[in-house]
């Protein structure tokens, strides 16, 4: 029996080895990271080739963070996920059991190699004079933002507005809810992802202000120079921590665990941190953050943990079916 077991294991090993071919990874990410990962993937492929002599191709998939997580749960064969918020990766862990529950402790900084925040992108000259969150509830202001049920960035934007209200009204939740109701009363249309809402604002010419990822706002400025968009950084916003994780079971099945792990670890390297900063993601590396400090205005950044008791609670309270968002948006 032992002999047959040995033969079986040998055949398995042979099968795995013989099945090896060009290495391909699938990075399932959220909407606005296309440009970042295009640049990073090229850098990593070069690094991996130098380190191992192997070629690696990284395919990208982008969409609303919540939708992307659901796709992975439904079978999209991601080797790694780089999503907008930890709750979406928790969902993959809990519902599909594709990675362990402690995934966030496996990489530094809670598996978030870069951070970001939510800012305002306004039209040339800021004709509505939008400077802070309370300017958004003026009756004549039209806001463009994605649907927080499907978009990670939109959930950060919602919570940033809510956090402003809590801070402003002495943590009076009723007043904060009233404030957020007024904010979404000025939202005429909800895209499913952050990139979609950028298109709505920048290409379709809808609205006075786009609630955007900081990096997305810079990208829109760059992509539409003739529009003269201006970025307004409010005095207070939220510390957005988009996490990254290995999808263990998929990577193991694809035989890509080693390269996928290296792919995520390399996001913390100096080279990658430079790329992230150049793409307007706030790097974790203090030296590189200091080098690009001019790109990232200082503001008060609250966290989900401190204001909302963590993502699980925030999700349940605000974004689950029947939650606060459903109540305030459906009632309009």
Helix (H, G, I), strand (E, B) or coil at 285: coil
Minimum distance from CB of 121 to other proteins (Å)? Answer: 17
Smallest distance from the beta carbon of 193 to other proteins, in angstroms?
Answer: 10
Nearer to other proteins by C-beta: 116 or 150? 150
How, if at all, do strands 244-246 and 209-213 pair?
A: unpaired
Phi, psi of 279 (to 5 degrees): -95, 15
CA distance 120 to 306: 23
Which is nearer to other proteins, 116 or 200 (by Cβ)?
200
C-alpha–C-alpha distance, residues 134 and 33, integer Å = 29
In this chain, which of 1, 2, 50, 74 binds other proteins, going by CB under 8 A? 74
Q: With CB under 8 A, what is the number of residues at the site for other proteins?
A: 24
Least distance from other proteins to the Cβ atom of residue 298, Å: 33
Judged by CB under 8 A, the stretch of 25-33, 36-44, 173-181, 197-205 that binds other proteins is 197-205
Q: Is 320 in the site for other proteins (CB under 8 A)?
A: no
Listed residue (162, 152, 315, 297) closest to 231, CA to CA: 297
Neighbours of 287 (CB within 10 A): 9
Using rule CB under 8 A, residue 174 touches other proteins: no
8 forms part of the interface with other proteins (CB under 8 A): yes
139 touches other proteins by CB under 8 A:
no
What distance lies between CA 163 and its chain's CA centroid?
Answer: 19
Q: Which is nearer to other proteins, 15 or 287 (CB)?
A: 15
Strand stretches in 91-148, DSSP E: 114-115, 118-122, 143-146
189 binds other proteins (CB under 8 A): yes
**Is 212 within 8 Å of 144 (Cβ atoms)?**
no
x-or-dash string of contact with other proteins, 25-54, rule CB under 8 A: ------------------------------
**Considering beta carbons, is residue 149 or 218 the nearer one to other proteins?**
149
Order the strands of the 190-191 sheet from edge to edge.
190-191, 143-146, 209-213, 118-122, 230-232
Q: In angstroms, what is the minimal distance from the CB of 181 to other proteins?
A: 20
**Which segment (129-137, 196-204, 268-276, 317-325) binds other proteins by CB under 8 A?**
196-204
Q: In which residue are the tokens 């925030």 written?
A: 314
Residue of 6, 16, 105, 316 interacting with other proteins (CB under 8 A): 16
Q: Is 205 in the site for other proteins (CB under 8 A)?
A: yes
Residues 116-135 that bind other proteins (CB under 8 A): none
Q: Which of 93, 200, 256, 273 binds other proteins (CB under 8 A)?
A: 200
Are the CB atoms for 128 and 210 separated by under 8 Å?
no
Q: Applying CB under 8 A, does 1 fall inside the site for other proteins?
A: no
**40 and 272 Cβ atoms separated by less than 8 Å:** yes
CA angle, residues 65, 70, 75, in degrees to nearest 5: 125
Q: Which residues of 45-63 are buried (b: 16+ CB within 10 A; e: fewer)?
A: bebbeeeeeeebebeebbb
* Residue 192 within binding range of other proteins, rule CB under 8 A: yes
| Stretch touching other proteins by CB under 8 A, among 100-108, 115-123, 188-196, 223-231 | 188-196
Residues contributing to the site for other proteins (CB under 8 A): 8, 11-12, 14-16, 18-19, 21, 74-76, 142, 188-189, 191-192, 196, 200, 204-207, 253
């Amino acid at each position: 029996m032992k002999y047959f077991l040995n033969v079986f294991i040998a055949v398995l090993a042979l099968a795995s080895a013989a099945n090896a071919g060009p290495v391909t990874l699938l990075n399932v990410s959220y909407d606005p990271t296309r440009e970042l990962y295009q640049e990073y993937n090229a850098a990593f492929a070069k690094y991996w080739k130098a380190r191992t002599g192997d070629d690696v191709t990284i395919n990208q998939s982008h969409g609303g963070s919540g939708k992307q997580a659901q796709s992975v749960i439904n079978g999209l064969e991601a080797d790694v996920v780089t999503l907008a918020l930890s709750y979406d990766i928790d969902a993959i862990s809990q519902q599909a059991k594709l990675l362990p529950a402690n995934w966030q402790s496996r990489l530094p900084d809670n598996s978030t190699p870069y951070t970001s925040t939510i800012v305002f992108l306004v039209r040339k000259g800021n004709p509505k004079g939008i400077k802070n969150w309370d300017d958004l509830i003026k009756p004549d202001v039209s806001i463009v933002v994605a649907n927080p049920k499907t978009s990670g960035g939109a959930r950060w934007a919602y919570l940033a507005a809510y956090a402003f209200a809590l801070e402003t009204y002495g943590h009076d939740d009723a007043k904060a809810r009233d404030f957020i109701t007024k904010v979404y009363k000025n939202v005429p249309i909800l895209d499913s992802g952050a990139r979609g809402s950028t298109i709505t604002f920048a290409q379709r010419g809808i609205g006075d202000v786009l609630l955007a990822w900081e990096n997305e706002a810079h990208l829109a400025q760059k992509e539409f120079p003739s529009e003269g968009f201006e970025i307004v950084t409010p005095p207070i916003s939220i510390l957005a921590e988009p996490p990254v994780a290995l999808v263990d079971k998929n990577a193991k099945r694809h035989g890509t665990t080693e390269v996928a792990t290296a792919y995520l670890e390399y996001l913390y390297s100096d080279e990658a941190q430079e790329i992230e900063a150049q793409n307007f993601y706030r790097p974790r590396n203090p030296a590189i953050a200091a080098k690009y400090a001019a790109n990232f205005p200082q503001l008060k950044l609250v966290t989900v943990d401190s204001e909302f008791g963590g993502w699980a609670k925030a999700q349940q309270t605000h974004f689950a079916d029947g939650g606060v968002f459903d109540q305030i948006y459906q009632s309009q």
